[in-house]
Structure 1
Amino acid sequence: MEKVKSISELNKGLCSFIKQRYFSPFKIDGKKTSLNQYANACNLAPSTISKINSVKGYNIPVSTIYTITEFEETSLEVFFKDFFANFIPELASKK
């Protein structure tokens, strides 16, 4: 199994994946919305959403990922399967 080169790389990958999957564009019930409205709907601080959107990445807690996936009606299992399939394809193919 190939290891991730650094925790920083892993966090940037998670943030990039979340941004692509859920934040481009922000949507509530299928309708485009603002970052602030999305953050409020998710029960997260707008600054947390901004950190995830940052180019530098963010040391994202699992609890934040859970909050987003719950709001998006996706399980953590599906989220991480999709993340590993897209971010680290070698890991997905070896399972």
Structure 2
Amino acid sequence: MTKTKDEQQEHLENDLLSFINVKFIAPIKINGIKPTIRQYEEITSIGRTTIEKLIKSQGYDMPISTISKICQYANISLLQFFSMFEQYQEKEGKGKK
């Protein structure tokens, strides 16, 4: 039996990836230049493969451990992270329908 994601779950995952990319990955610059994947890894302590999946911004069912690393890097709590995500969804018109 194969598992399939429902559309709502897939949209939520993609919204979460987009949020992380916009708020935490894309703003990182080194001397005004976008870092390499290896530099992202060093800056955030998130593995290279995971960084690549985050940048791709779709089709990645992210584990809570990755979200926790993002929170550690950004020096925010999980509560703050999910509050920011909720605000992002509302602003982008992607909230619950």
After TM superposition, is the score higher than 0.5? yes
1:46 aligned residue: 48
Instruction: Provide the TM-score with structure 2 as the length reference.
Output: 0.72
Aligned residues: 86
Q: TM-score, normalised by structure 1?
A: 0.73
1:12-51 counterparts in 2 under 5 A? 12-27=14-29, 33-51=35-53
2:55 maps to a residue whose letter is N
Give 1 or 2: higher strand fraction.
1
Which SS does the other structure have where 2:62 is aligned? Answer: coil
Cα distance change on mapping 1:31 and 1:75 into 2, 3 Å: farther
Q: CA deviation at 1:67?
A: 0.5
Identity of aligned residues (%): 29
Question: Any stretches of 5+ residues in structure 1 without a counterpart?
Answer: none
Alignment RMSD: 2.5
Could you list the runs of 5+ residues in structure 2 that have no partner in the other structure? 1-6
Equivalent of residue 84 in structure 1, options 83, 86, 97:
86
